[in-house]
Structure 1
Amino acid sequence: MPAGGSTAGAPCCRLAASHRPTRRTARYPSDIADAQWAELDPLLPDPACLAGRGGRWEKHCRRVIVDAIFYVVDNGIKWRALPADFPPWQTVYKRFAAWEKAGASQRLLDAVRDRVRLAEGRVAVPSAAVMDSQSVRAAATVGRATRGWDGGKKVAGRKRHIVVDTLDMLVAVLVTPASTQDRVAARSLLRRTRDTAGGRMALVWADGGYTGPLIDWARKTLRLTVEIVQRPQVPYFTVLPRRWVVERSLAWITGHRRCVRDYERLPRHHEAMVRWSMIRITSRRLTQPQ
């Protein structure tokens, strides 16, 4: 099987015997490589019929479905504009939504992040992280109830709040209206971080927007230390300790065109787009070490 693609008759995924052979070959930069697919394929949820809950077998190869999702995330196109060599856009979107409802993107992200950490000589579950937020403009498809106005950044849309580990890999993401204050959204975000990292997470660095009651709340409720990294009062640019890690991760996310703006009707689907963008980056980092 050629690197980055699949050919007719090749075992493209672990459910290859249940669907028609794929006749698509690799042709886009967003297509997944063989080594990446070997890591992701076993982590995708089983279809309902395989788990004894009824339903039909999947008609299309899962590898082609993941290629299509990566194509949308990387190129920022509409679902309806998927190239003709992918399965029908309705099929790809329904699979994307079903996997997200089952929590597949978070499990994929956790698994590849833990494997990268182990490969770099770290403990799989991080004990320290960095937190920040980014306001993005919302498209017309975003409903008024889930959008807001960020007066500081002068952005009308939504705000994504993320936590990354010290190796700049995503741990948790939360999407809110842009009008939501960072210290308010941080409570839900830190709860997600605790659920992901378990009881090992002990320290989170953040900027001055998280000062106030949040620090005491995190220590008493989650047994988590939130340390504020203040910006030095100097008249020139300087790299801020710890905070540059999360800023770089935000830049990587914005490098995927679907995440430059928020086009999703549901906030959880924008969270999924952020996770899929980081799954793509992290799985490449796992299989192509520098």
Structure 2
Amino acid sequence: MLDAVFYVLDNGIKWRAMPVDFPAWDRVYAVFRRWREAGLIAELHDRLRAKVREQAGREAEPTAAVIDSQSVKADAVVGAGSRGSDGGKKINGRHRHLICDTVGLLLMISVTAGDVTDRQAATDMLPALRERFPTITKLWADGGYTGTLITWALAALHLVVTVIKRSDDTPGFVVLPRRWVVERTLGWLMRSRRLARDYERRPDSSEAMILWSMTMLMTRRLAAPAQA
């Protein structure tokens, strides 16, 4: 069943296009739905993240994080109530707001309409982040998170938000400290063809698909042979 979900995610197929050597598509989708509703995929994902961090020689719980967002076009099945237009990037669809640890593993995900700004999403996500990960005291972000969010996070959550901006004097592509970590995570997600566009009717299904994608990545890391 899990391999069948991974197949849908990795190859970007419709549920009904499930190959015949997998279980019936409606049974696979039923497992996906139950795991989403019961929070089982989130539980599996978080346990694997701790294992991957320990494998890398780090503590299971992070002490710092990086936040960013990604705009993706929405498929026709996405209703008007959960989609919007990102004026800056001229994309009509949804926003994926990610918070990652300093090695790029996902800590929190929130999928919103495309017209929800980074600061609005961060205001909702950061209290939950501090409650779930009380060890985190430092957060890096880009210029979209400037303003009262920084002072509010420090005063209300005791969370230091550092904005890393790109210099206007530097031509061409530049790898920015810390910000490249979450950008790489977004690149990892785009390897899953199902995530190249938002095909899910519900935002929580989109969030579940992202958790499945990161779960697939982490299981491959844990199963990889040890380096000599």
TM range (shorter): over 0.9
- The CA deviation at 1:264 is 0.5
Is 1:270 matched up with 2:206?
yes
Is 1:213 matched up with 2:163?
no
- The CA deviation at 1:195 is 3.7
* Structure 2 gap segments, 5+ residues each: none
Is the contact between residue 172 and residue 196 of structure 1 (CA under 8 Å) also seen in structure 2?
no
SS across alignment from 1:95: helix
- The CA deviation at 1:196 is 3.2
What does residue range 234-249 of structure 1 map to in structure 2 within 5 Å? 234-249=170-185
Q: Residues 192 and 85 of structure 1: is their aligned pair in 2 closer, same or farther, counting only changes over 3 Å?
A: farther
Match of residue 31 from structure 1: none
Match of residue 88 from structure 2: 152
What does residue range 1-290 of structure 1 map to in structure 2 within 5 Å? 65-197=1-133, 199-233=134-168, 234-288=170-224, 289=226
Q: Residues 127 and 94 of structure 1: is their aligned pair in 2 closer, same or farther, counting only changes over 3 Å?
A: same
Is the contact between residue 139 and residue 262 of structure 1 (CA under 8 Å) also seen in structure 2?
yes
What per-residue deviation string (whole Å, max 9, x for no partner) do you get for residues 238-284 of structure 1? Answer: 11000001000001101101101001111000000011000110121
Whichever residue aligns with residue 176 of structure 1, its letter is T
* Structure 1 gap segments, 5+ residues each: 1-64
Distance in structure 1 (CA, Å) of the matches to 2:210 and 2:58 = 24
What per-residue deviation string (whole Å, max 9, x for no partner) do you get for residues 127-152 of structure 1? Answer: 11111000000001101110000011
SS across alignment from 1:239: coil
What per-residue deviation string (whole Å, max 9, x for no partner) do you get for residues 161-196 of structure 1? Answer: 001111111111000000111000012222332343
Q: How many residues align?
A: 225
Task: Select the structure of larger CA radius of gyration.
Answer: 1
Whichever residue aligns with residue 180 of structure 2, its letter is W
Distance in structure 1 (CA, Å) of the matches to 2:11 and 2:126 = 31
Whichever residue aligns with residue 138 of structure 2, its letter is L
SS across alignment from 1:200: coil
Runs of 4+ that moved beyond 6 A: none
Q: Residues 108 and 196 of structure 1: is their aligned pair in 2 closer, same or farther, counting only changes over 3 Å?
A: farther
Is the contact between residue 183 and residue 209 of structure 1 (CA under 8 Å) also seen in structure 2?
yes
Distance in structure 2 (CA, Å) of the matches to 1:91 and 1:176 = 28
**What TM-score results when the alignment is normalised by the length of structure 1?**
0.75
Whichever residue aligns with residue 154 of structure 2, its letter is R
Whichever residue aligns with residue 264 of structure 1, its letter is E
Distance in structure 2 (CA, Å) of the matches to 1:193 and 1:178 = 22
**What TM-score results when the alignment is normalised by the length of structure 2?**
0.95
What per-residue deviation string (whole Å, max 9, x for no partner) do you get for residues 10-32 of structure 1? Answer: xxxxxxxxxxxxxxxxxxxxxxx
Whichever residue aligns with residue 76 of structure 2, its letter is A
Whichever residue aligns with residue 155 of structure 1, its letter is I
- Taking only aligned residues, the RMSD between alpha carbons, in angstroms, comes to 1.1
Distance in structure 2 (CA, Å) of the matches to 1:203 and 1:236 = 29
Higher alpha-carbon deviation: 228-237 or 74-83: 228-237
Is the contact between residue 137 and residue 158 of structure 1 (CA under 8 Å) also seen in structure 2?
yes
